[in-house]
Amino acid sequence: MFENENLTGKYSQPVLGIISLFPEMFIPWMSLGVLSKVFSSPEICNFSVNLINLRDFGEGPHKIVDGRPCGGGPGMVLRADVLDNAMQTFLEKQGSDSLIFCLSPRGTPWNESQCVFWHEQLFPEGRLAKSCLFICGRYEGIDERLLSCYDPIYLSVGDFILTGGEVALMAILESILRKIPQVLGDSNSALQDSFGQYKKGLLDHPVYTRPLDFKGLQVPEILFSGHHQQIESFREKQSLEVTRCYRPDIYTS
Catalytic status, residue 178? yes
| pLDDT of 82 above 70 | yes
Q: Which domains does the chain have, with CATH numbers?
A: 5-177 (3.40.1280.10), 189-246 (1.10.1270.20)
Catalytic status, residue 140? yes
| pLDDT of 6 above 90 | no
Amino acid, res. 30: M
Give me the helix-helix angle, 112-122 and 166-177, nearest 10°. Answer: 70
Catalytic status, residue 59? no
- Yes or no: say if 164 and 138 are a contact pair by the CB < 8 Å rule: yes
pLDDT band at 190 (very low <50, low <70, confident <90, very high): low
pLDDT band at 198 (very low <50, low <70, confident <90, very high): low
Share of the chain above pLDDT 70, in %: 92
- Yes or no: say if 65 and 58 are a contact pair by the CB < 8 Å rule: yes
Marked catalytic residue, from 140, 174, 204, 241: 140
State how far the Cα of 221 lies from the Cα of 212, in Å rounded to an integer.
Answer: 10
Predicted pLDDT of residue 191: 62
Predicted pLDDT of residue 43: 74
- Yes or no: say if 18 and 169 are a contact pair by the CB < 8 Å rule: yes
Catalytic status, residue 159? no
Marked catalytic residue, from 59, 105, 236, 241: 105
Write the burial class of residue 180 (CB in 10 Å: 0-12 exposed, 13-18 middle, 19+ buried): buried
Q: Which of 20, 39, 22, 21 has the alpha carbon at shortest distance from 30?
A: 39
State how far the Cα of 55 lies from the Cα of 83, in Å rounded to an integer.
Answer: 9
- Widest CA span of the chain, in angstroms? 71
Count other Cβ atoms within 10 Å, centred on residue 100: 19
pLDDT in tens, 22-49: 999 999 999 999 899 888 887 777 899 9
Average pLDDT over residues 4-32: 79
State pTM to two decimals.
Answer: 0.90
pLDDT in tens, 149-158: 999 999 999 9
State how far the Cα of 13 lies from the Cα of 47, in Å rounded to an integer.
Answer: 5
Predicted pLDDT of residue 157: 98
Average pLDDT over residues 94-111: 97
Predicted pLDDT of residue 12: 52
State how far the Cα of 1 lies from the Cα of 57, in Å rounded to an integer.
Answer: 9
33-35-232-210 Cα dihedral, nearest 10 degrees = 0
Marked catalytic residue, from 14, 143, 166, 178: 178
| pLDDT of 253 above 80 | no
- Yes or no: say if 181 and 41 are a contact pair by the CB < 8 Å rule: no
Concatenate the DSSP letters of all residues of 65-122 into one string. Answer: -EEPPTT--SS-EE-HHHHHHHHHHHHHHH-TTSEEEEE-TTSPBP-HHHHHHHHHHH
